[in-house]
Amino acid sequence: MDNKESFLLECYKLGIIKFGKFTLKSGIESPFYVDLRPLASDPKILKKLSSYLLELISTTDFDIICGVPYAALPMATAMSLQSELPLIIKRKEAKTYGTKKLIEGIFSTGQNCLLVEDVITSGKSLLETIPEIENEGISVSDIVVVLDRQQGGKELLEEKGFKVHSLFNITEVCEILRNNNLISEEEITRINDFLTGNEVNFEVEKHLTYEQKLEKTNNSFAKKILEIAIEKKSNLIASADVLTTKELLDFAEKVGPNIVALKTHIDIITDFDFDETILPLKELSKNYNFLLMEDRKFADIGNTQELQFANGIYKISFWADLVTSQVIGGETSLDCFLNVGVIAILGMSSKGTLTNSDYRENALKIALSHPNVIGGVSQNKIPEDLLLFTPGVNLENSGDGKGQQYNTPEYVFKNLQTDFIIVGRGIYKAENIEKASLDYKIAGWNSYLTGNK
């Protein structure tokens, strides 16, 4: 992924572009809406943006810099700080008292001003702004723009003799979002139709609710987790990546009321003892009504997996309601999992994972062909016949320095249409575990409700 692409993805996460049906200032209905103002609230992003914008031009060609109010003001300020081009400020309206100035700051006649704009649409607002600057004896030859909506504005200004340097256009943005599975084909079609002047079909695909999924499934483990979700108004799975039986049981007690399932890596419990660890855990799962999901990620031939599933000290088949399994062993490797809901690992959240789109597609075929598979773990959308479980969720961090990559609950429900979020350190490392689990429960549930409106 090149730097510009990953930069755009960082910006996208701040919610700068939305897809749906939006009425623009002109009254036109647009399938996307861009608002770059949130960029200014993230100083690191604003700094990077400023560097990218400055790369589009040669600063020595200009004497001063000015942002079109308001969205471009912080951008122009950041560019001024970085390039040392002096900033002038253009008011939206002239003051009605005092100096009645429209342009504030220090400038002199004949200076060449670099104009900064966030989004260019028809170009009309720039064509109104430029004469107001030129009236002060300042010349404008170049405009840098973060995003060109490709609605003729750039061409119009270029016809009038201005050089327009844009960092992204909407086609590039869609391409990057498509490569990262963040935009659907329908949304792309709507945008293309909009840009080429064709009629836009705004009908949106509806996602199935938990109730509808419950009605559709025949798998008893899928039914169970959906019933719990509906009853507890939760789609939260807490990952109990702790090291002792005491910690595990304490954790289960604290998060129990807020979760649909507790995910374990049972082989990291240093003092594991079936009676001491599993029996009380099972009791807690009954009392608080949550499932036990053993994240064993089986990855062997069917026969070995069968042995690993039922034997050894962990005897997973005796207590787990759900297990995760890789599908690397191929078609029949999942047949050994009986009386358990299988969650297939289709795509991983870690940086550089080998689960590329080819792998995911083949893994999905295997998952879909097995009635014991209730869903998949993935960072990408999957068909609604399977439940989607998404780890790599954290409200505070974007990574852990060890390859984990995080998204927010809002992001995964909106963009991946996930069904269940899996949260580990966001909860078990929190100072107040009960509160953290409640916060994630609420964030997950609200994001689900928003996505199903």
Shortest distance, position 286 Cβ to ligand S5P, whole Å: 23
Q: Which of 428, 351, 384, 432 is nearest to 6 (CA)?
A: 351
Binding flag, residue 424, ligand S5P (CB under 6 A): yes
Rg of the chain (C-alpha set): 27
Helix (H, G, I), strand (E, B) or coil at 364: helix
How would DSSP label each residue in 164-221?
EEEEEEHHHHHHHHHHTT-S-HHHHHHHHHHHHTPPP--PPPPPPPHHHHHHH---HH
Question: Residue 22: beta bridge partners?
Answer: 30
Q: Is 404 annotated as a binding residue?
A: yes
Closest CB to ligand S5P belongs to which residue? 424
Q: Is 137 annotated as a binding residue?
A: no
Q: Is 95 annotated as a binding residue?
A: yes
Binding flag, residue 348, ligand S5P (CB under 6 A): yes
Enumerate residues 225-244 that contact ligand S5P by CB under 6 A.
239, 241
Shortest distance, position 305 Cβ to ligand S5P, whole Å: 17
Helix (H, G, I), strand (E, B) or coil at 350: strand
The beta strand positions in 267-359, using DSSP E, are 291-298, 322-325, 341-345
Q: Is 263 annotated as a binding residue?
A: yes
CA distances from 299 to 70, 260, 302, 334 (A): 55, 25, 9, 10
Q: Is 426 annotated as a binding residue?
A: no
Q: Which two tokens stand for residue 365?
A: 């075929």
Q: Is 300 assigned a catalytic role?
A: yes
Q: Is 295 assigned a catalytic role?
A: yes
Quote the crossing angle between the two packed helices 72-83 and 43-55, to the nearest 10°: 70
Binding flag, residue 282, ligand S5P (CB under 6 A): no
Among 121, 150, 258, 324, contact with ligand S5P (rule: CB under 6 A): 324
Binding flag, residue 295, ligand S5P (CB under 6 A): yes
Q: Which two tokens stand for residue 281?
A: 């855990």
Mark the segment that binds ligand S5P (CB under 6 A) among 166-174, 186-194, 224-232, 419-427: 419-427
Q: Catalytic pick from 63, 142, 148, 295? A: 295
Binding flag, residue 376, ligand S5P (CB under 6 A): no
Active site residues: 295, 297, 300
Q: Which parts are annotated binding residues?
A: 25, 91-92, 95, 117-125, 149, 241, 263, 349, 404, 424-425
Which residues bind to ligand S5P, rule: CB under 6 A?
239, 241, 265, 295, 324, 348-349, 377, 391-392, 394, 404, 422-426
